[in-house]
Amino acid sequence: MKKKLAAGNLLKFHFPLFIAFILFLGSCEPENSTLGDALFPPSDTIMVYTDTIYNIETHLVRSKPIFSSVYTAIPNSEKTFLLGAINDTITGLSSADIITQLVFSNLGNFGEDPLIDSLNLWLYVSDVEGDTAQEMRILVYEFTGEISYFESYYSDYDIADQYNPIPLVDEVITPRPNTFYEFEISNQDFLDRIGQAIRDSVFASVDSLKQVFPGLYITTEVTPDSKTIAKVGLANAISRLGFQYVHDSVARDTVSAEDYDQYYMNFNEYYAQKINMFHHDFTGTALEQLIDNPSANSPIVYAQGMAGVNVEISLPDFDHYLDSGMVAINSARLVFEVLKDTLSGISSDDYPLNLMLSNVSSDTSRLVVYDYLVNTSTRNFGRLIRSNAVSAFLDPLYLYRFNLGLHLQSVFTGELENTDLILYVMDPVNTTKYIKLWSNDPDKEGSLRLEIVYTKF
């Protein structure tokens, strides 16, 4: 009868054979140790390299004026417009004003000579940035200029001499998120003009209304202590200009509260043009000597919303950096690390969620880099990332990373000119946020860098 070996015994039985087999293999020396090399010519050897480039130049520049009016191709009732001012010791004074056209909600049934009374303006505030407890003095003027719903307008629109200097509204509020504010307009001249417009059939068409009442200019009082900017939802149904009236069929000496009707003009996204205007004053700040100064060198760079500060980035001689020959760039990541909160004075809760890169073309126009346009995961392009684990013992490290493989491959092959890149806060027309980033000091941990992987043929 055959006995089965236990597992332990089986291991002991085979172990000496196993050792002998390994020693035998180790003593063998094959005659040709380059098996397979002859399949390809020596010149066709493929080598993969990794490198980190620190030779990156940065300069701070003012943003070019940005598109800040209604995107008429895709009307959006959720779009907000910034209103207010923030005076900061780092970035100076930033302020935002609004122009909006008026359109009517319906034709109305006024009669030929109605009694007009009690004109009111409502504005909806969807969110607030800055000091949410600070009061804001709102000033609303009648806009007297001429703008078109079908034209594009930019953040540097000049309001000078295009409004009646007598305010329709001059009130103080404390802006709160998701709140609407009502302002009474007691300007009798404006009320009389509404009555005349009704008699002249101005309310029969949107175009005729815009000719007689071009719109409103909405601004705030700016002081050295200004710290608040509100996001105003003008296309929201709550934001509107309305008045009470009594139909002329009602005898004036018998008018009661029940005889009054309401009529509203609004700022909807389909017919009313709206423009956000931004202003920046860097006087007295450290940035004053750095912005638009090619000779200035700073270990820290800034990117700011509201068409404020941008970063100009140069990769000198990149098209010659990888030597000659055929090169395929597998990946190229431009990495900006964020200064720690203790150094920057900015809470991580206030970091912009996304930054963006544009390529400056030879005619100085700016186009978003091609990698963003073709990337299927664009949400990760320039998105704020925490680069280390959440820990009570480690300071959080944040960074923004941009994959630029396609762009730099085109630069290397000569399809694209090696022009500068511009770093800015994504959607700058809708945020006041700014960020401090380490610049191009290779001796500083966390310095701006290009991490590149490439193949040479």
Measured at the CA of 96, the angle between CA 92 and CA 98, to 5 degrees, comes to 170
In 178-254, DSSP assigns E strands to 179-185, 215-220, 227-232, 240-246
C-alpha 220 chain-centroid distance: 23
What is the structure's pLDDT at 393? 63
DSSP 68-123: -B--TTS--TT--EEEEEEEETTTEEEEEEEEE--EESS-----SSPEEEEEEEEE
| Domains in the chain with CATH codes | 47-61+283-456 (2.60.120), 70-272 (no CATH)
Number of H helices, E strands in the chain: 7, 24
Q: Between β-strands 136-143 and 261-266, what pairing exists: parallel, antiparallel or unpaired?
A: unpaired
Task: Indicate the burial class of 376 (C-beta count within 10 angstroms; 0-12, 13-18, 19 or more).
Answer: exposed
Dihedral, CA atoms, 447, 453, 456, 457, nearest 10 degrees?
-160
What's the Cα-to-Cα distance from 210 to each of 79, 80, 249, 268, 293, rounded to whole Å?
22, 22, 28, 13, 44
DSSP 141-169: EEE-S---TTS--BTT---TT-B-SS-SE
Q: What distance in Å separates the CA atoms of residue 153 and residue 150, rounded to the nearest whole number?
A: 10
pLDDT of the chain, 457 residues: tens digit per residue: 333 333 344 334 344 443 444 344 344 444 443 433 444 455 556 688 888 888 899 999 999 999 999 998 888 899 999 999 999 888 999 999 999 999 988 877 888 888 888 899 999 999 999 999 999 999 999 999 999 999 999 999 999 999 999 999 999 999 999 999 999 999 999 999 999 999 999 998 999 999 999 999 999 999 999 999 999 999 999 999 999 999 888 888 888 888 899 999 999 999 999 999 999 999 999 899 999 998 888 889 999 999 999 999 998 877 666 665 678 899 999 999 999 888 888 888 899 999 999 988 766 678 899 899 887 565 689 999 988 765 656 678 899 999 999 999 988 888 888 889 999 999 999 999 999 999 987 778 889 999 999 888 7
| Residue 282 DSSP label | -
Amino acid, single-letter form, for residue 361: S
Q: Which residues contact 298 (CB under 8 A, 6 or more apart)?
A: 60, 290, 439
* Contact call for residues 95 and 222 (beta carbons, < 8 A): yes
Rounded to the nearest 5°, which phi and psi values hold at 253? Answer: -80, 0
Q: What distance in Å separates the CA atoms of residue 246 and residue 206, rounded to the nearest whole number?
A: 22
Q: Which residues contact 37 (CB under 8 A, 6 or more apart)?
A: none
Rg (CA), the chain: 33
In the structure encoding, which two tokens stand for residue 428, read together? 């700058």
What is the structure's pLDDT at 5? 33
Could you identify the residue written with the tokens 């607030």?
A: 128
- 190's enclosing H/E stretch is helix 188-199
What is the structure's pLDDT at 24? 41
